[in-house]
Structure formats: C-alpha cells, structure tokens
Structure 1
C-alpha cells in the first residue's frame, strides 16, 4: 500500500512538472514557420564536479568563469512549492561555485508572487535581479511585455542589447538557433529588457491530442478513423455494440471531455478538420496576415459537426460541465466506459493503472468534408518572457548578465532541471539506448520525483534555462524491459503518441508579438471580453441551446461590437512590425 501511495504521488508531481514545462502561455503565439521539428542533439556534460566550497574560495576557473573578484547579487525569485530552500538548493550552490557569484535571495512563495512582484516594482527599492518572473501566476505574455516596456522606459529594467552583443555568446547562439526568440523579446522601442527561458519539449508542441481506446477498436474490428465521417461511425459503433465487451451495450461513452484540462475541449481537436484552431486565441496567420476563425463559415461547420455528436448522444452530456477530477473518475473505471477523449497527456485525466491508460492511443488529425486536415501547433508555447531582468539598483550589471548567459549552457540547464550530476543522473555509457533505439546521452540514477515532499536537488521550472527535447527526455537511456506504459515511461509515451501529428501543422501560426503600452492596454481590454463571449457561445452552439442557423448572425454581430475586428488589427499591426521586413 505504501509503495502504491508513493507511486501515485510521484505521478502527480511528474504531471505537475510536465504541465509547468509546457505551460508557456500560448497567447504569446503557438507555432509558425519553424526552423526544424527535429530536436537538436544534446552535447556531453562536464566531468564530475569537485567538492562544493564557497564561491569566494573557488579557484577552478573554467570557460564560464564570470568574475575573478567575488560579487554578491540580491535576487528576487519566485519559489515553487517543491523546492525546500533556494539559498541551499544544490543547483544554486553549483551555480555559485561555477561562476564565483554569491546570490542572496528574496524567496517569494508562488501563491503570492504576482502581488509581491507588483509591490516590489511600485516600491522604488529594487533587487539587483528579478528571476523566474516568467512563472508568475496569472501574468500573460502580453501583460509581462507591457510591464517590461513600462519599467524599462522608466529606467528600472536595464536594456540588455549592448551586454548581449559584448558578453552574450550563449544568448546569441539561442537567437541564431531559434529564429523567433530575438524578435519575441525585443520591445517596440528596440530594447531587450529581459531574457527568457526556452523549452523545446516535443510533445508539448502538439498538445491538442485526441485519444481513443485501441482495445475497443479491436473488439469491434474497426480501423483507426481518418476522416470526420469515419470518426462519427466509430463513435456510433462504440455506443451501440458493447465496445468494452462487458455484456452491457448501454454503458459506453463514445467521447468525453472536461472544462479545465490541458486541451480537454473536444471541439479544439475536431475543429482542425474544418479550419485551423489554435485552442487559445483562435487566430491564424496566412501569407503573413493575422486573422480570426471565430466568425468564419468553416468554424460554424465545425461547430455543427460537434453539435451533431452531442445531439446524438455520442459525446458525454457533461463534457462542458465536469472538471478534470470528475473526468479522471470516469476514465479510471474498470472495465473502461470511455472510448475517446481529448487531453494533452492522458495521465492528467485517469489513473496510470487503469484499463484505459494501458490501451489508449492518439487519433491522427482527421480530414474534414472539404479536405481540410490540420493540428494545433505550439512552437512558441515554451518561450517564456521575463525570466531574468537586471535593475538600475545593480552595481555589477556585467557580472549579472554573464551569470544569466551562463545559465543558457546545456550543462547548467540539465543540472537546473534534472539534479546533481553523478548523484541524480550521469552521462550515458557506450551502448545505452533511448526508448526509440538511438544512442543515449544521459541516464538517471535516481527518479526525478520520488515523493510528495519538497526537494532541494534541482530547480524544477524556476530560474532560467535553455532546454532541448533531448536534454529533457529524448536522449535519456532506458533499461532493458523498459515499460513505456509505466510511471517512468510517461514522457516517452507522449513522444511516441505525438508522432502521428508531426507534419500536419500549418505553415504559419502566430509567433510571439510585442505590443506598445497603448496597444497592450487596448488588447487586454478587448481580448477578455471577446474570449469570454466566444467561449460561452461555443458551448451554447454545441449543446444546442443556440441555433447555428438562426443565432449565428447575431453572434457574429456581437463579436464585432465587442471589438473583434480591432483585436485582429492590433495583432496584425504588431506582427507586421516584428516579422514582416
């Protein structure tokens, strides 16, 4: 029993890490013309680290040595609940030793971080560095960028352009490797006031997934659906033909969703068979022009299809009322009663030991009646603006910047995210392979998450890092007999089940856009109202409480009155300014 409880806690913490890693707000843009879908290969780490000693005494001056004279920086930092103490965290101790920079932390609890951040900025008394502000609760990329502009122009945040040019070898490499990063963090006045965190977790780029119970398809001798018509027929068979084989033809739920999961609205995935749906702002980019889908005929036809599923009892009637906890209870039943469901990662809405978890697989993007076939793509979802800002109170901005630039190295990023080298993880041995048979770069020694308490080995999702898919999970060794459906195989399973989506993303989607202060104020006002209304109306159309025939025109008119056209204009203006040269 004790082992089972630990496993469940481990799963929950693993999910939390996955969600936080993938939670770069899609509002800053989801996918676009990209350099490559193939994650970059990981490089080898350094040799085993020497015994820790205070930064002031360190004489092991490697290539990333920051300063000969020990410097102390006062750092404001959001502290996540799973970190015991930032000041004694093993990553921070290693970072200080490697750079000869002492760090004094003002540790802000996650729950009060946004309030304390705003109070700190308003106080006029600043730390040398703000760290991890990109993780602030309820602060979208739009608001963060507006804050950077306001306090950058006021002289609180130092412009980093010259420091990047002179000392930013790793920062410039990030800019060169990921083409949109520099544009995505450059303010309209031409200055960069903050460095971002960047994560390249492959499966998070295709987070809008639809899962289906392969055992139900097999029981009914059905093929994986490839079109919306085929999917409709599969759902009908699930409903009518005792798909779970328990002798009761009336307990099957062909399709179910929930209101608060990670892409758990069924209409997001299904809409991509009619028109590209980003699952967030409902904006598209085509021929370098931003537009909305919310008033398009294709969007209406997509809603009509989803309504048909709901109206015929093929979609669970509580899909737009239940939360993820209720969904988890539904999906964890034995025998399984749910045939298909949308979610970014299945363990969020089911127990890892459930029948459904053992047999669910992803449905490839469906082709719609007019031949459209796409999937949501979040290329930019994990560019987190506002990870590291240097203030006017800092007497050693060069040292502070060099510290930040060092944090972009793979050695630093792996240690920040994974723990202590040769204690928590090691370099892979010759012959060790990844789950998909490639030569491994890294191997774990201890589980990344082992219990429900706070840890002090790594920095989790705090701090600043540049993370490739390989360094996170893709290049990690697995042992013989590795079970991809086990708790330890969660991330590998998500990579495997993402492959069917690769290649169905559109050529362009919305990259990170930066608004002027005036634009940001207008966007934030209009966007809240438009999004709220559009979400409410979507549910009303799907559930039949409003008609897509008689109520559609008034819906479009109301969107226009709320400022939808102006919102699109503002996004298009910012996009053109940044990306159309």
Structure 2
C-alpha cells in the first residue's frame, strides 16, 4: 500500500469538481444551437415504453441485486483527465458481484465527446446507457424528434422508486427534465441549493485581493463606485510592492464560459451572467444585452478599459492565461472556483466579493447557477433491458450508493469487496490508504469509479457520513474556511436563480436556431466594440434597433413560451 490521505481533501476536491462540472457542462440559456434533424416523433404525446423480455428478471424486492440473473449492459461514459482504466475498477466489480450487472464500457475523453457522440447517433450505433453530458437541444433532437432515447416516464414509475420519490418531492427537478411532449428522456445531476460551509458553491464566484486592498488602504467595495476606486488604487499604487507598473487591477475571460460580466451586471440589477444571458423580469423573458441598463454596463466597462483598469486581454484570453496571471500575483480582482485553484501560492490573500449595488440598483443580488442539469443519464432505443438500466440508474438516487459511488466503500464493509476503502485512524479521523501508484485523493476517486467525468444524481452531501455511518464530517481547515465562510455570509443571502434550462418544441427549436446566431453574435460583437471605444455609446439606440431587425422579439417570444411551459410543469 502507498500513502494515506484524509477524507477532507477528498471532500474538497469532489465538491470543487461538482461545481466546475455544473458550470462547464451547462450550455447557458440561449447560446446552445443544434440542427433539429429529421422528425420521427414530432406529433407529441407521452410514449409508453414497451416491456422487454428481461423485465421479469428485474429484482423488485430491494435495490440490489438489480437483476436476479446476471446480464450485460453496454455503457458509454465520459473520461476524466486522470481517470483510471476500467479494468479493476471497484465500481464495476461492485456492479458485477452485488448488482448482477456486467458492463461493456467505452470511455470517451471530454475533448472527443462531441465528435464521437455525433458519429454514434448518426450511425445509430448506440450503447444501452450513456452516463455523459447532453444539452437540452440534444435531448430534444435524439429523444423527442429522432426517437433514439427512450422515454423514461413509465420505467421510472414502475422500476425506479428513488427517482420517482425525488421527482414527486421536487417539482422543479421534474420541470427541468420534462420535454414538451411530456416525456422524460434523461436523468439529471442535482447540485446542492442550500448553502452550508461544506457546499458553499454559489456557481459564480468573484474574488478580490485583500492583501492588495490593505496595501492601498481601502475597505472592501460595496458599490460600483467603490469597485472603481479600488481598481484605480490597484493601478496607481503598486500594491504588489515590486516597484513595477505591472499590476492588473481586473482580469477576466469575456468570451469563454460564462465570462466575468456578472459582477457588474448584478450591481445594475440585471440577473444575468453575461450579455447574451436570458433572464425574467416580472414574468417576461428578456436578454441582458437588450436591457435598458445594459448601456450603463457598457459605459462603466468602457471607463475601466480606457483608464487601464481592465486587462487588455480580457476579451481574447482563456482561463489558463487568466489564472497564470493570478498565480503570479499580478491580479487584483477576478472570478474563479477557489483561491487555491487560481492562486495556489497566494491563496490566503483572496476573499470573496460581496454583491455590489449602484445608483441604479440598491438591492444586492447574485446570479446563481442552475442546480439541476439534465442529460447526465440516458437510456437509448437500443437497450435490450431498459428495466434493468433504469434500476441501475436508480442506485445513484439513493443516499448510500450515491455516497459510496463517489467516495468509495468503508473498509471491511459489505460493499468493499476487499477494496481498502476508507477507515477511522487511531485519532478517529476518516482516512484513506492509497493503492500503489496513486499519490493524491482525486486520482484515487477516478481510479475508483467512472462517473467523475459527469456527475450523476444528487451531489454527495457529507452529512451522509453521519446518517449512514454515525460519523461526524471532518472539520475544514482554516485555509478552506477563510473563503467558504465569507461566501456563505456575503453571497449566500443574495443568490437569485438564473433563467432555467427549458425545452423548445421542434418547430421552435428550428426557428430559434435560425435567429440565435445573428442575434447573439451581434450582441457579443457590439459589447466588445462599445467597451473598447470602437463604437460610440451615442449609437446605443441604433444597436437596439438592429437587434429588433434581426428578430429579437420573436427570439424572446420563443423562450417566453418555453418558460411558461416550464412554470406550468412545476405545478
């Protein structure tokens, strides 16, 4: 055996990855486009799943075994960068011995996922199950339109009591995974929406360099004016003390992911993460880039840019470049997952920013992420044993199996199957023994299971270690509490749900695809032009009129109809 590791590091790593995965896999509201393909199920209406010959083999007396006699299922799953080989994985050994399920597994790297996915569906060479990442539009295309994904409604009602219980208790989850025809074609991952010190994961997190702030003699900013004054001081007063004019007050990645605009937009009262984000005001769907106060955002950002307070690479760099600057102690303010990620040698210098207010908005708000992400588990039309497949998926929605699939079994427990697992050391602390060749906890997790590439089911909450094993979750070190507790205090009370993931009917999807590219590309182009001064803000009304001519009103009405249907599904 190799080195031992405390469960604390595992908890931190997994919670971070859950948050990153949620952020990275979400396509945003309105920016994801796909062709609709040839319609095969456009008439709508719930479909009833036919009963397979293997239905009688399903064990209905308890979660395990899934089936009475062993069967084989084919599975395609995403492969994390440090994922171990399928051969010898505890997860599949557990499935074989305890669930009577043998898996024929294909792992696909994230970088190859889109290409491989398209090939598999175009050729109809599909596995029984995907545990991966499908967008809302892809669920519509491959489910409701093409019929390549099975409707799960009847399967859930008959064979998945834990999924059914969750959907009955949480109408917002049911609404998020129900297509316009009333069918459920995928199962989600579900983030933790109630913040505690363990899951202090407001999806969007913005940090300021408190060491620099102290150096320039300022208090933490509360308003947009304060934020400007802080950035100005960072530029003029050499906060890193190296005697060089190389400090970057504010950096970001405006053209990748969700961007960094939300810290300014929220201060103006715009509940959006970027210029192309949709939001709802008084029940009406709008887009941030057409909000009347978007002009004030552009004016503020132009001021920051013209005075050298905004990184001149903010619209061209990626996150790797951004974090290289913060890791080198060059930056005063930025968004990021956690200080130990973007500034490992200076993590103690960073604190979360409180939501800002402005003369246009006196109420603090902070746009959260969507905590329900559809498209994590799908069962295809090729599945010969769909009842067993949904029964397998149901395990991820139980407290025990969801927890151990993420964290591994307790040593010497019935689930361990001889695998070392975790145990209590002589101090009563939860500890791991790493197998040979593994030196850190995250590699251990990826050697254990195949699911970390795309989280499934509810996020594993560490309260489960108490309810399942009677143990107290380990205390977080001060280095973690120093940024987690402030997120709870500063951001937690002001979180506002973003525009939800919504389904478009096949006809609406086709029309949305026609409208989206010219509208969204124009918003992004003009955002940069206004901020960099290539276009005068005197032309803002012309910009709004151009959006109307591109079909903005029709675009918003498409989403209004989808949003109204989403709200109706929650009732």
Aligned counterpart for 2:332 among listed residues 339, 357, 360 = 339
1:521 alignment partner in structure 2 = 510
Aligned counterpart for 1:233 among listed residues 216, 222, 229 = 229
Aligned counterpart for 1:391 among listed residues 380, 383, 386 = 380
Partner of 1:23, secondary structure, is helix
1:27 alignment partner in structure 2 = 28
1:88 alignment partner in structure 2 = 88
Q: Does residue 131 in structure 1 map to residue 130 in structure 2?
A: yes
Contact 2:277 2:287 in 1 (8 A): yes
CA distance in 1, matches of 2:310, 2:472: 40
1:167 alignment partner in structure 2 = 159
CA distance in 2, matches of 1:554, 1:472: 54
CA distance in 1, matches of 2:509, 2:390: 28
Task: Calculate the TM-score normalised by the size of structure 2.
Answer: 0.79
Aligned counterpart for 2:530 among listed residues 541, 561, 576 = 541
2:456 alignment partner in structure 1 = 465
2:551 alignment partner in structure 1 = 563
CA distance in 2, matches of 1:565, 1:430: 66
Aligned counterpart for 2:352 among listed residues 350, 362, 376 = 362
Contact 1:388 1:464 in 2 (8 A): no
Deviating 4+ runs (over 6 angstroms): 10-17, 427-433, 451-454, 472-480
Q: Does residue 271 in structure 1 map to residue 259 in structure 2?
A: no
Task: Calculate the TM-score normalised by the size of structure 1.
Answer: 0.77
1:329: how far off?
A: 3.2
Aligned counterpart for 2:185 among listed residues 167, 186, 193 = 193
CA distance in 1, matches of 2:381, 2:394: 19
Alpha-carbon spacing, 1:344–1:497, altered in 2? closer, same or farther (3 Å): farther
Contact 2:446 2:452 in 1 (8 A): no
1:476-555 matched pairs, under 5 angstroms = 483-485=477-479, 489=480, 495-499=484-488, 500-506=490-496, 509-549=498-538, 551-555=539-543
1:50-199 matched pairs, under 5 angstroms = 63-86=63-86, 88-127=88-127, 129-134=128-133, 140-152=135-147, 156-199=148-191
Unaligned runs of 5+ in 2: 4-9, 32-58, 412-418
Contact 2:397 2:457 in 1 (8 A): yes
Alpha-carbon spacing, 1:346–1:460, altered in 2? closer, same or farther (3 Å): farther
Alpha-carbon spacing, 1:540–1:372, altered in 2? closer, same or farther (3 Å): farther
1:369: how far off?
A: 1.1
CA distance in 1, matches of 2:442, 2:21: 18
Q: Does residue 290 in structure 1 map to residue 290 in structure 2?
A: no
Which deviations, in whole Å up to 9, do the C-alpha atoms of 1:69-118 show, x marking residues without a partner?
Answer: 22222233343443233353211221333322222224444433333333
CA distance in 1, matches of 2:70, 2:201: 41
Unaligned runs of 5+ in 1: 4-9, 31-58, 434-441
CA distance in 2, matches of 1:289, 1:386: 27
1:379: how far off?
A: 4.4
Which deviations, in whole Å up to 9, do the C-alpha atoms of 1:35-67 show, x marking residues without a partner?
Answer: xxxxxxxxxxxxxxxxxxxxxxxx9x9643322
1:501: how far off?
A: 0.8
Alpha-carbon spacing, 1:310–1:409, altered in 2? closer, same or farther (3 Å): same
Q: CA RMSD in A?
A: 3.7
Contact 1:407 1:464 in 2 (8 A): no
CA distance in 1, matches of 2:173, 2:305: 41
Alpha-carbon spacing, 1:322–1:108, altered in 2? closer, same or farther (3 Å): closer
CA distance in 2, matches of 1:473, 1:498: 23
Contact 1:406 1:412 in 2 (8 A): yes
Alpha-carbon spacing, 1:469–1:535, altered in 2? closer, same or farther (3 Å): farther
1:56 alignment partner in structure 2 = none
The aligned length equals 512
CA distance in 2, matches of 1:303, 1:546: 11
Contact 2:406 2:445 in 1 (8 A): no
Partner of 1:278, secondary structure, is coil
Alpha-carbon spacing, 1:67–1:565, altered in 2? closer, same or farther (3 Å): same
Which deviations, in whole Å up to 9, do the C-alpha atoms of 1:233-274 show, x marking residues without a partner?
Answer: 22222233333344x374433222234666553x32111111
Alpha-carbon spacing, 1:390–1:343, altered in 2? closer, same or farther (3 Å): closer
1:412 alignment partner in structure 2 = 401
CA distance in 2, matches of 1:285, 1:536: 23
1:227: how far off?
A: 0.9
Contact 2:13 2:442 in 1 (8 A): no
Q: Which moved more, 1:371-380 or 1:514-523?
A: 371-380
CA distance in 2, matches of 1:125, 1:451: 33
1:456 alignment partner in structure 2 = 447
Which deviations, in whole Å up to 9, do the C-alpha atoms of 1:326-376 show, x marking residues without a partner?
Answer: 33332233xx342222334344543x01x3x22111110011112344444
Alpha-carbon spacing, 1:327–1:392, altered in 2? closer, same or farther (3 Å): closer
Partner of 1:84, secondary structure, is coil
Contact 2:129 2:389 in 1 (8 A): no
1:193: how far off?
A: 2.1
Alpha-carbon spacing, 1:221–1:372, altered in 2? closer, same or farther (3 Å): same
Contact 1:271 1:303 in 2 (8 A): no
Partner of 2:119, secondary structure, is helix
Contact 1:196 1:385 in 2 (8 A): yes
